[in-house]
Amino acid sequence: MSALDDEIRDLMRFAAQRSILPRFRQLADHEVEMKGVDDPVTIVDREVEAFLTEALTRLAPGVAVVGEEAVHADKAVLEALSGQCWIIDPLDGTANFAEGKEPFGIIIALADAGRAVAGWIYDPNRDRFCHTRAGEGAFVNGTRITARTTGQERPVSAVSRIFLTPEQSAMVDARLAPHYSLVDIPRCAAEQYPRLALGENDVSSFKRTLAWDHAAGVLWLNEAGGKAARLDGSEYRVDEQDKPGLVGASSPAIWDEFIARVIG
């Protein structure tokens, strides 16, 4: 791994050991708030984001930091996504964490001019560190990996119905259920992207495409030889997070087949 990869891994591991793991299943009621419907935030989210923001600013002075909680407090922070910036999800899978369940993780990406150029995904429960840099491949704990399919006759499709309209949910039943083994998503992009590359899931669709959830994972999956792109095949850009629809797959062929069934 590069010196930067080592530095990011150490920051993520320290944040997990100091703030995340000691509070897992130990949160008091007043340490969890709701930002919106089905959208909790905990004291851990804020503490980890503050730590990582300070650490990354020291690491690269002058590079903006876009954190999920900073954006919630001030939408103007999103303007930095069009330039060079760090993107932080301090506790991906907050809903799971708040309920005392796995998975959850930390996600950091580095972007420039609207495109992710590097990404890091850390699972503190497994001490699994996924990392990538544009054009240099995808890695897990320093070992280069190539995306692999599940090998199942019926590809495994992870689809969440949480944000789907009734019409969209009916489409899943009519067009996807007959051809795929449907499984639920883990509600954690830090886990879903590894599942797509490491032979557990074949394809997954996302309605919400927030930069802190997807910037690192999209780059990592594409660098592994899978495919993550918008429904129309265009690239995912971090500065277009309000644009709905994103599909990730363990291979370009599975991505193409899935899109053909969704689009019709």
Annotation: binding site for Mg(2+): 68, 89, 91-92, 213
Take residue 147 and report the two structure tokens written for it.
Answer: 């995306």
Annotation: binding site: 68, 89, 91-92, 213
Name the DSSP class of 119. Answer: E
Q: How far is residue 117's CA from residue 215's CA, in Å, rounded to a whole number?
A: 9
| Sole residue written with tokens 């277009």 | 240
CB neighbours (10 Å) of residue 70? 21
Q: What is the DSSP string of 67-116?
A: EHHHHHH-GGGGGGGGSSEEEEEEEETHHHHHTT-S--EEEEEEEETTEE
